A and B are shown apart, each in its own frame.
Chain A
């Protein structure tokens, strides 16, 4: 009897240890994965002499169990129990082991915190750099150099300009970016005295747009030009909004349409209606699903991040310029990481690859 038990013990060897990077509320028990292991019960005890109590079942093919009910700071012993035709079987006894509290998740700190820290540092550094008045240059963005001509054209034709700031509310970064482009567009249109329509899909977006346009009008020295009725909230409903904007295009025939912000299915409808009215169309969004339609149907398109870059480029505002510069360094870092990672794999080293596993 005893020697059978002995055989089994040597057959299944379990380990128990304090679960790393948790709040000391659990102990992890592991054993070599083995496909022909039966369903097992996990037993726990504070004193092996006094016997074990069942604390859970282990499903087939599992090789790990987390005892989340372990009290912090107590010494526990574990073993597995199962039955097969020959009767009751046990694994070895693992322990004593006690659950300890960790104040920090070092795993996360290492592979996520580190990257966050680097990115933050870089971005903040360049923001301060730019604020301290140092010159930060940005490459010209094709879609933007077209903005002034487009507005000029509308002026010559004596037609209005339409600016659609996306269909999301102001908690959407793209909408924010759109607004700072709107500021520049409004300033120009105010200068030329061209009508500017800004229909919005959300009440709060409308209030913000009104503020922006008003301020630009003042900056352009044409406060009289500002007409609050041209910046309207239409409806929160996606298609209701689009058909209303279509209505504006067909009625007022704007010569230049801007679609900047975050767009969904409506991008296509807007671009097509605009194209059919013969307007010059400048689009920009970070919604990769919608970019194809804009590229195919508009004259200029800001691709993804270019939208954010554009708002920095136009406003020449140090904060935006600085953070853009910071992001560029981020990209540079990524490229370096990728190249390094590929090389290490070529050389057959896996440490770097494994460094990037999100799951423990």
Chain B
């Protein structure tokens, strides 16, 4: 029991160090553990597979750098899939800080797939107004969107002219880190215009999306980095999601050990107290 007593007063920096190593080492020396595909992620993949070439996917970057780590990999994986299937991407965002991130992902991948801005994809950037805005958007995009991300008139862009109302959108893919986000797309855009909604959310939000998935208001869901990793497996693209998964595994195991150990220590201390004579 000596060790336990020592552990009880363990300096937290040692714990920090262990966590750090548990993240770094698997990244340098990948284990390549197999990633299982969960139903919600499969649904998103199948949905996009089912779309006909040239149909338009609306991607909404409803997150900011705070959750970039979780949602940027998903952003890339989805864009990759869309471009491969020659789908057009109409990108917007409900969070001011998200557009810059979406722009970066579009740029890099468009170059890889030789897509042209304006005809294959556009980015109209951040649109304030949350739920209220979504309603007028679905009715008529012109009411809300007149210029694109860089201030170019939307009508000067082929894709911009193509999209007039919710009818022209075959799928909404929201990358959501909070409010406004997936809830508003479901409760307003889907409810009013019936456009199918897929979502990638932070792991924190994922649990609360399950009711909507059961009721079919939400087609599919990528939950956190794991969701992105699953999607990368599906589109066979080793991105940050998969790179991170090994670290994810190791850290989780470590944390579980911590919790168990911590409680063993607790029990040990309790026994000490109750033991006759002992302090």
Q: List the interface of chain A (C-beta within 8 A of B).
A: 59, 62, 276, 289, 358-359
Contacts and interface: CB of A to CB of B under 8 A. Distances in A.
Contacts of A59: 167-168
Contacts of A358: 191
Given A62-B167, A359-B192, 5 more contacts: A59-B167, A59-B168, A276-B12, A358-B191, A359-B191
Interface in B187-231: 191-192, 204
B14 to A, nearest CB: 14
Contacts of A276: 12
A161 B167 CA distance: 59
A358 to B, nearest CB: 7
A358 B168 CA distance: 25
Nearest to B166: A59
Interface in B6-41: 12
Interface string B143-168: 00000000000000000000000011
Interface residues of B, number: 6
A276 B204 CA distance: 25
A59 B167 CA distance: 7
Nearest to B204: A289
A62 B194 CA distance: 11
A142 B167 CA distance: 54
A276 B167 CA distance: 57
Main secondary structure of the interface of A (DSSP, over half): loop
Contacts of B192: 359
B104 to A, nearest CB: 25
B93 to A, nearest CB: 21
Nearest to B190: A359
Nearest to B66: A265
Nearest to B187: A358
A220 to B, nearest CB: 36
A276 B10 CA distance: 11
A359 B135 CA distance: 14
A277 B75 CA distance: 42
A358 B12 CA distance: 51
8 contacts: A59-B167, A59-B168, A62-B167, A276-B12, A289-B204, A358-B191, A359-B191, A359-B192
Contacts of B191: 358-359
A250 to B, nearest CB: 12
Nearest to A276: B12
B67 to A, nearest CB: 11
4 shortest A-B CB distances, which residue pairs?
A59-B167, A359-B191, A289-B204, A358-B191
A175 B168 CA distance: 44
Contacts of A62: 167
Contacts of B12: 276
B275 to A, nearest CB: 22
B150 to A, nearest CB: 30
A276 B168 CA distance: 57
Contacts of B204: 289
A359 B12 CA distance: 53
A125 to B, nearest CB: 31
A101 B192 CA distance: 21
B13 to A, nearest CB: 13
A221 B119 CA distance: 75
Nearest to B12: A276
Nearest to A296: B259
A59 B55 CA distance: 13
Nearest to B164: A57
A159 B136 CA distance: 57
A59 B162 CA distance: 13
A316 B123 CA distance: 56
Interface string B167-190: 110000000000000000000000
B248 to A, nearest CB: 19
B4 to A, nearest CB: 18
B273 to A, nearest CB: 15
A289 B168 CA distance: 37
Nearest to A290: B204
A62 B191 CA distance: 15
A59 B194 CA distance: 13
Interface string B27-66: 0000000000000000000000000000000000000000
A59 B195 CA distance: 13
Nearest to A359: B191
B161 to A, nearest CB: 14
A59 B12 CA distance: 62
A259 B271 CA distance: 31
A62 B195 CA distance: 12
A59 B165 CA distance: 10
Nearest to A272: B12
A22 B12 CA distance: 63
A358 B192 CA distance: 11
B163 to A, nearest CB: 12
A62 B167 CA distance: 9
Nearest to A66: B139
A214 B167 CA distance: 60
A289 B208 CA distance: 10
Nearest to B191: A359
